[in-house]
Structures are given as structure tokens and as C-alpha cells.
Structure 1
């Protein structure tokens, strides 16, 4: 098949990484795959690193030039299936295909759990304009079915798959040495784009409450909340204990360096890739019941779940894992077992390939 992904977002996070990983996986299976995106988008710059062809089009906004450019590209480059990912490119692709004589079927992937406007436009966008909708979690799937009245057999949950070889337990001391970290310290960490809803500020408040000599907080990522996070670290006088290390291309090494993983999100999640990466690395996890997170982990069985935007509860859960190494080990082992069985990269590719094939005549 010839698979064309469209992505209007200029940001960089789990959504963009999934697109490139999925496209790379399909290429390895013998399909053609490419990405259409704005020239200024981060995904356009990153695509060569994944071995995925990317073509720059002015589709970052819902404007006529972008619609015409996308229509012209699709007319000149017939595809077997179009996979759209954000609202803007989904609208542009839907309108472009509506004006083409023999358009490719559209599969819309819904990555996040942000609220959807329930109106005629949304019903057309998720209904008549596409042949199938994919969500990154069952909770997101049920929301679309309930709120937009979509037929259940036209909506499928396919959580992002993770490379089980790349993300695996390893030698913590060796990882810390390789990353230039203090080998005498122990580490709580978060690996996520620095966005408000990821909960970094609540994690900093919780960490400041902990009387835990020898423990440090690692914050891996970049994003629009960076200045706020730096200001919070300064206000809490955590400069020597909270390390903001920026965006890294080797998250697997940073995961191996951690003792505890924490993602205190309070909005907009599907099944976060970082949670599944931490699961495969066999880390004890503290997170929240937001979006589709509970489809990956369950409280007291494979993670500790706390209510979002509650620094006190977050601090208490972290304290439990610091004090109870048996609990931490049990949760980590259970998390890796579950992730290996349900969230592998091959499982994702199998399911997406089947969905793409189902759209073919």
C-alpha cells in the first residue's frame, strides 16, 4: 500500500513520534509511506532520522492555499490510504478529497482526550469525511461513539506500540555513568514534552515535600512550559536536586537511569508513550487516571494512581515507593509483563495494517 500521513502540528511529542515510528514500521514491511506537513514543523526536520520521506506543504492553518496545495499533491500522487492526525490537516484532507474524482479513503487518528465540539462539523469530520477512526485508547473511542454517534465498528482503539527491545531493564549504574549523572544519587524522573497538562509543576511541589536525602528529580523534555518550570525550581530552591536536561533522542537510556517514573498528567492523554516506555523498562510508576492511562496500568497492581493536580497525594505515593523497595519491584515487574503482552510495536503495526487494508476496495 501507499500510505500518506498528514500532520498540521508544528510541535513535537508523542503524537509526532508515533506517526514517524508507524511510518517507519510500515516501510520496513514493504509499504510506501510518507508524511505531508508544514515546512516549519518539527516532524519535517525529524523525518529523515526515521527514514521517512516528508513533503512540505502549507497546511499548518485552515486556509485556502493549504487546501489547494494539499488537493494538488494528492491529485498528482495517488495514495491507497490517507491517515490524518490533527484537526487542521483532517479538515483540509477531508475537503480536498471531497473535491477529487477518485480520492483515497481517509483514516483519522485521534491521539488525545481533549474535548470535541459536538456539532455538525465534527460529525462530518469524523463521520462522512473518513472511512475509519483510530483512537489511542478505548476511553477515547467510547467518547467519540457516545458524543458523535459514530458506528462502533468504524472506530478502533490502537494504543501506540513501543519497541520492546529498545525499552528494557538495564544496568542503572552504567546508564548513569554514560549520561554523566551522579552515580551516588537515586532518581525520580519524568520524560515528557513540557506542557502544562503533563503536571510538571505539581511534581515539583510534591518533590519539594519529600525529605529524601540522596534523591533527585530528572525532567527530560522541552516545550512551552520550560520557563515556568525553571521559575518553579528556583522558587522551591530545588536547583541542586531538580535537573532539567532538555530534549533527548535516547529516552531509553534516561529511563534505565531512573528508580521511579512519574507522569502526573491532568488532561489530554490517550495512553502516553512515556508510561509504556517506563513499563517496559520495569520501573515503578506513579501516574493519574486521565485519558486512557488506566488502560495501561492499574492501581496497586502495576502502578500507583493518584488524583490529578494533587501534590500531597503525589508526594505520598512517591514516598511509599522510596520507602518500600519490595512494592516498587513488584509494580515494575508487573508493568513490564503487561506492556510486553499488550503494547509492543509489532502489535500496533499489525492492527494499523489491518485497518488500512480494510479500507481498500
Structure 2
């Protein structure tokens, strides 16, 4: 390792999900290695509050929108602080950081992390942002990296896939019955999802599939919150299954919720890298039902550690859920394979090693 680095993360998003969790866990991991990390985000954002609760160095600036006050505030902050490298995470803060650095005499290099698979346009301004203003791009999946190289013609030597790493000491298989007892869940089949409630996560198709299951002993647990929360609750009521659907909102510790499940379902139809919650479920030893979106299939192999179904297809989801519930030996073997895959490829230490190497490479090259 070179000398300890001062790493600044920027995040314009006010939401809460895997992207924000990765930023904070990565900051803590770098701090543990002797680096100094800081975060700039809007005062009203969830990540600002959570960073403070975790004892991380967070600074509130008006960077939630692409506006001049945010640009000037960020520029002034950078003039007053020594930073070795900036890691941007969303479109708005990436633009503000790029423009601020463009106007500074001695600006730090920028690393842009792309967390989702949404396409990037090929406008000249966007190309400037990614290939001139940004020194290095990190994607959260290899397929995302390949898309940037193929579709956007970005320099492959300056893009690396670094999948989100999971704490293998914390996310472990547990006593399913004990977890259910502690959480007040039933002892029948339990299907679950942990995800921010956005439309493209596919919760509505999971609700429709669960309704078709027609098993009064079964429960569907949907951990998380988000803009679709009220709509999903209303959908569960309209389907006549609200009594079997538990929506506990965001949870500080999702481990017991995962340990209580029989299978984990993530029916996303857009915008995924390798989803963090899915990896957590794999470490807990759960069989996975999901879709071929983003870089999901870099973790899930159909028939081996999970089942891949078509997107937006509640009937296919129902068939996959039924298959796992009716063949517990198959579900158990898929869960075992899922954990083995996770331990081999998605450990937290591996992620920190790779990100540390990226930051050191960029700083030395700059």
C-alpha cells in the first residue's frame, strides 16, 4: 500500500438502497485500513443521517440538483480541503464534481462508480464527463463494464468491475425456526424480498405470483421502503392477500429476516448491477429466484444456485416458487451452492482490495 489516502465520496441521491449502503460500508472498510474517507451529500438525504449514526465523516452541501449553488458550494469546499481522490456515485454529483474540478488549478482525480445498468447516452458532453473529466470508471458488474466498452466505446483500460462485497462473518445461515419466532412470523412457507420499493424491482409481479400460490399457510415478507410502498400495500389488499403479506419497512439488521426465509425472490426488470441484497441472501444460504437483468447472472447460475425467470412474468415466478417449495432437497442444495458461490467471489475483503488498488492507481497516475 502507498501512503494513506484521503478519499472523498459524493452522493446526490436522497434515497436509500444498496448503492448508499455500499458507499458507507466501503468508507468504513477504507477507514479500517488507515485511509481517511469523507462524504458530501444533501442535508436531507438518508445517507447523511445514516453516515452520522455510523460515525462517518459526512458533510452536507446542496448537491441534490444540478444547480449553480451546489456547484459553487462544492468548489469552495474542495478549495479548503485536501483530497487525494473523489469517488462520485450518481449523475448529479458526478457532473457537479467534474465541473468544480475543471475550474480548480490543482484538482483531485475522479473515479466514477456506476451502480446500475441504465444506458449512458453518447452525447459529446456525456463523453467528456466519462472519458476526460473522469480518470477511472468502476462498475458493479462485468456485464455493465462490457456494455460501456461496446456501446459507448469507452477506454477498457480505465474501467474495472468491482462487485459489492458482503461481510461473510455477519451474513451466515442461522436457525430458521428461531428467527421466525423472534420476528413473530409463522411456521409455514415464507418467501421474501429485501429491496427498495421502486417499480423496476418487480415487487408487483411477486405479489401477483404469491396471490396465485393460493396457500393460506404461506407468507410473503417484503423488507424495505420506497416510492412504491403505498401502491404495493394497496395491491396486496386488492389481491386479497394483505393478511399474508408483511411489509415491515427498512430494517437496521436484515440478517434475521433473511434467515427466516425459505427462498429469496428478486424479480427486477431493469437497472441492476449485482444486487447487494441478493448477495446477502446467498451468504445466508438461500436459493434465489431472479431474472437475467444487469449483471445478476454473474452471481446466479440457473439450476445451480437459483432459478432465472423471464421479467414481468408472474406465472413464471409462481412456477419457480412452487418448484422450490415442493422440492425442499433441491432448495437446500441450491442454497448451499449459493453460499459457496458467494464465499468464493463476493466477500467484502475482495471489494476493499480492488477499490484500494483503483484509488492508488489513479492517484499515482494523476
The TM-score, its normalising length taken from structure 2, stands at 0.97
Which blocks of at least 5 consecutive residues in structure 1 are unaligned?
none
Number of the residue aligned with 2:75:
71
Deviation digits for residues 266-290 of structure 1 (CA, Å, limit 9, x no counterpart): 0010000011001000001100000
Is there any run of 5+ residues in structure 2 with no aligned partner, and where? none
Residue in structure 2 matched with residue 202 of structure 1 by the alignment: 205
Structure 1 distance, partners of 2:178, 2:20, is: 30
1:351 Cα deviation from its structure 2 partner: 0.2
Q: Which moved more, 1:49-58 or 1:307-316?
A: 49-58
1:220 aligns with 2:223: yes
Q: CA deviation at 1:215?
A: 1.3
Instruction: Decide whether the 8 Å contact of 1:276 with 1:339 is kept in 2.
Output: yes
How many residue pairs are counted as aligned between the two chains? Answer: 360
Q: What does residue range 163-242 of structure 1 map to in structure 2 within 5 Å?
A: 163-182=167-186, 184-242=187-245
What's the offset of the Cα at 1:326? 1.2
Out of 303, 307, 311, which is 2:310 matched to? 307
Among 91, 95, 105, the alignment partner of 2:95 is 91
Matches within 5 A, 1:7-18: 7-18=11-22
SS at match of 1:62: coil
Is 1:3–2:7 an aligned residue pair? yes
Contact 1:38 1:58 in 2 (8 A): yes
Root mean square deviation of aligned Cα: 0.9
Alignment partners' CA distance in 2, 1:206 and 1:106: 44
Mapped to 2, the partners of 1:330 and 1:267 lie a distance apart of: 28
Residues 1:245 and 2:248 aligned together: yes
Tell me if 1:287 matches 2:290: yes
Q: Which residue of 1 aligns with 2:137?
A: 133
Partner secondary structure for residue 339 of structure 1: helix
Following the alignment from structure 2 to structure 1, what is the Cα–Cα distance between the partners of residues 157 and 305?
Answer: 30
The one of 147, 158, 163 equivalent to 1:154 is 158
Please list the CA deviations of residues 72-125 of structure 1 after superposition, one character each: whole Å capped at 9, or x if unmatched.
Answer: 111110101100000000000001111111111100000001121221111111
Q: In the alignment, which residue of structure 2 is the partner of 1:81?
A: 85
Taking the aligned partners of 1:46 and 1:170, their CA distance within structure 2 comes to 27
What SS is found at the alignment partner of 1:359?
A: helix
Shift of 1:253: 1.1
Task: Give the structure 2 partner of residue 345 of structure 1.
Answer: 348
TM-score, length-scaled by structure 1: 0.98
